[in-house]
């Protein structure tokens, strides 16, 4: 059964700036002392009677006492300002877990993950959970950002691909800088040229709605059923 949705409280334990515009925060559970969720889910945080923002867990479900959230603060709205201004010791209230963007272990097809910028967060949680608990199927991650400075978890995924032979990692940027060695272009372009067969494939796509639609169209044109493209829309 899915984890029960609760009203909880947690305290900020650590804050990290991963890139110029991407921040992480660790939350230690206070009430309840442990929090159960499925990799890929999110919590909602209230900022007023009618103002709520949602944040996906970047950490795997094995961390029940401390969860990690990650956010892009570039938009500069109420959620961005709140996330950027968190200090160690701050208490927050939340509701969750919520969301159906989760990997179904009973589905034996090989997963293709496609993430656009901050859309990487739930996929990071899923991948860490997969490799912590044992995952024998081949899996591929295509992680797109506008330039290399936005690749928040790049080194982690590179290490993961070296450690797990069945995992392929393709970072993609629109605007290469420095001595960039890797894929260039748009997410759907890389999907089109690297996915040679959709037989026994299931896709998990996370990011902006426009990107999700384009990637889905490419995969469907190759013969993948529409229901085999699962998605999490961030904007």
pLDDT band at 103 (very low <50, low <70, confident <90, very high): very high
Assess contact for 138 and 7: CB atoms under 8 A.
no
Residue 139: the pLDDT is 96
pLDDT band at 205 (very low <50, low <70, confident <90, very high): very high
What percent of the chain has pLDDT above 90? 91
Residue 135: the pLDDT is 82
pLDDT at 35 over 90: yes
- Which sign, positive or negative, has the C-alpha torsion 235, 122, 99, 85? negative
Residue 2: the pLDDT is 82
Give CA 91 to chain center in angstroms.
24
Residue 97: the pLDDT is 98
Q: What is the largest CA-CA distance in the chain?
A: 51
What is the per-residue pLDDT across 54-95, written as a single tens digit (0 to 9) for each? 999 999 999 999 999 999 999 999 999 999 999 999 999 999
User: What are all long-range contacts of 221-226, with beta carbons under 8 Å and residues at least 24 apart?
Assistant: 222/195, 222/197, 222/198, 223/198, 224/198
d(Cα 170, Cα 184) in Å, to the nearest integer?
10
Residue 149: the pLDDT is 94
Site of tokens 């790049």: 154
Residue 193: the pLDDT is 95
The mean predicted confidence, pLDDT, of the chain is 95
Its pTM stands at 0.96
d(Cα 149, Cα 44) in Å, to the nearest integer?
28
The domains located in the chain, with CATH, are 6-98 (2.40.30.10), 110-233 (3.40.50.80)
Residue 182: the pLDDT is 87
pLDDT at 1 over 90: no
pLDDT band at 50 (very low <50, low <70, confident <90, very high): confident
d(Cα 33, Cα 10) in Å, to the nearest integer?
9
Residue 134: the pLDDT is 84
Residue 181: the pLDDT is 87
- Which sign, positive or negative, has the C-alpha torsion 49, 10, 128, 105? negative
DSSP for 96-165, written as a single string: EEE------TT--SEEEEEEEGGGHHHHHHHHHHHHHH---S-EEEEEEESSGGG-TTHHHHHHHHHH-T
pLDDT at 201 over 90: yes
DSSP code at position 3: P
Strand order in the sheet with 91-98: 51-56, 42-48, 91-98, 6-17, 22-31, 66-72
What is the per-residue pLDDT across 123-168, written as a single tens digit (0 to 9) for each? 999 999 999 988 888 999 999 999 999 999 999 999 999 999 999 9
């Amino acid at each position: 059964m899915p984890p029960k949705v609760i009203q909880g409280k947690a305290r900020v334990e650590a804050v990290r700036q991963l890139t110029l515009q991407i921040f992480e925060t660790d939350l230690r559970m206070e009430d309840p002392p442990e929090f159960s969720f499925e990799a890929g889910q999110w919590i909602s945080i209230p900022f007023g009677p009618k103002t709520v923002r949602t944040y996906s867990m970047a950490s795997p479900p094995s961390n029940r006492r401390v969860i990690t959230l990650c956010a892009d603060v570039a938009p500069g709205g109420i959620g961005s300002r709140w996330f950027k201004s968190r200090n160690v010791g701050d208490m927050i209230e939340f509701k969750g877990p919520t969301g159906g963007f989760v990997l179904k272990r009973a589905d034996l097809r090989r997963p293709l993950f496609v993430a656009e910028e901050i859309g990487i967060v739930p996929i990071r949680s899923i991948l860490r959970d997969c490799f912590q608990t044992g995952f024998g199927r081949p899996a591929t991650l295509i992680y797109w950002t506008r330039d290399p400075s936005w690749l928040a978890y790049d080194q982690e995924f590179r290490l993961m691909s070296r450690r797990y032979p069945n995992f392929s990692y393709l970072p993609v940027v629109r605007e290469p800088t420095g001595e960039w060695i890797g894929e260039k272009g748009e997410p759907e372009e890389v999907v089109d040229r690297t996915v040679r067969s959709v037989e026994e494939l299931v896709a998990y796509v996370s990011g902006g709605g426009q990107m999700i639609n384009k990637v889905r169209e490419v995969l469907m044109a190759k013969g993948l059923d529409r229901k085999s493209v699962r998605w999490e829309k961030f904007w």
